[in-house]
Amino acid sequence: MSKIETKLIHSGREYNETKAVITPIYQTSTYLADPNPEEYIKSASTANYPYFYHRHGNPSNSQVSATLAALEQTEDAMVLATGMAAISTAVIAAVKSGDHIVAQTSHYSGTSLLFESLLPKYGVEITRVEQHKTQEIIDAIRPDTSLIYLETPSNPNLAITDLQRVAQVAKEKKITTMVDNTFASPINQKPKCLGIDIILHSASKYLGGHSDLTAGVICGPESFINKAWKTRLILGGNLAPMDSFLLARGLKTLKLRMEQINATTLSIAKFLENQEQIEDTLYPGLPSHPQHELASQQMTGFGGVVSIILKSKTSKDALIKAQQFLSSLKIFTNAASIGGVESLVVHPASMFGSHQENATSSVPAGLVRLSIGLEHPDDLMEDLKNALETIK
């Protein structure tokens, strides 16, 4: 199987030991022990073994993991209960007390909390730098740096990180690289091909694609997945059987969904760029994006997230206009998350401000994030146009 569409449908079939075309939901917490003592010991100690105990592994999880490894072109993969379970498990597995991490200034809010509130308690130091300034990332490396953590495009500013250059320097210095590939999706960006070691996803987004599950994914070398599995075993973040089933279902249409989302979002970004109420339209697919050239080099499509900054005189004015805009939309749903079949909209300064102390310093008060779904682009543009007219 060489083509993505085929891999998404048929990878991991060896874990379906039934005659069902679709892998069943293995709604069980434990499995009958093998009478052979050696096999029983093996089942209890092998990473992601599917027939011992659910916290260790599950047949549905094994099939989804095989599909994701094929998709990201890594040796192995592991699914977890949420995107943050994947991020925290992978980072904790990669570092120890006394280590140093180089990270970006702009990350998903939960990731920022991990770096700011949790890891420093256990003796891990983090230096955060501007992700679009590659030399700053390189200059931040110290002798005790063990991990470089990246996210591109970033949330919600859609800044791009030069993965190939950072990976090259990291390999020379024997530093592990890790990237959150959620906003791009594996369809639009292949970090492994650019030299990145570990790839993470919130599978609740594009991979699942229907806003009906939470899941996370770690993709990487088999040796690291085994290490991360031991960490997950302690933290208990295994993916539930029903969510695993829904994720497997969603993955089958990932390529088709992303192709339409890419096309629709580019059309909408071009439309938004010409609206007088908008100060700036942030989308890597636009030639006006300051890193469009880099994005075009490392991405084959630009995803379904576009952010706009509404024109305003003050921060207070920006907040009022953002809320007027959101409340006037009829098709876009004001809800957190991205990557579903339905289009969503959020005001990050309001959403993040309640639990991320420094969020509004890097997120303009007038910034609104749009996640484009599978509705017809004409209907979405009409909805946006009508809402923008209410804030003149």
Report, as residue numbers or ranges, the catalytic residues: 55, 108, 180, 205
Sequence-distant (6+) residues with CB within 8 A of 121 are: none
Residues 6 or more apart in contact with residue 376 via CB below 8 angstroms: none
> In terms of DSSP bridges, do strands 198-202 and 176-180 run parallel, antiparallel, or are they unpaired?
parallel
Q: Which residues pair with 305 in a beta bridge?
A: 371
**What is the layout of strands, in order, in the sheet containing 333-334?**
278-282, 305-310, 367-371, 344-346, 333-334
Quick one: DSSP state of residue 206?
A: T
Q: DSSP state, 25?
A: P
Are the beta carbons of 351 and 335 closer than 8 angstroms?
no
Per-residue tokens: 187: 């369809």
156/370 Cα distance (integer angstroms):
9
Residue 183, exposed/middle/buried by CB under 10 A (0-12, 13-18, 19+)? buried
User: Contact 151/179 with Cβ under 8 angstroms?
Assistant: yes
C-alpha to C-alpha distances, 52 to 40, 155, 223, nearest whole angstrom: 8, 38, 21
Distances (CA, A) of 211 to 133, 201, 374: 34, 15, 13
Q: Give me the count of residues in the chain.
A: 392
DSSP state of 24: P
Cα–Cα dist 78/198, whole Å: 11
Element (H, E) at 113: helix 109-113
Q: 278 forms bridges with which residues in the sheet?
A: 310
| Contact yes or no for 377/267 (Cβ under 8 A) | yes
How many angstroms separate the Cα of 206 from the Cα of each of 35, 147, 372, 374, 379?
42, 26, 11, 12, 21
Q: What token pair was written down for 138? A: 């390189």
**What is the spatial distance between Cα 196 and Cα 220, in angstroms, rounded to a whole number?**
9
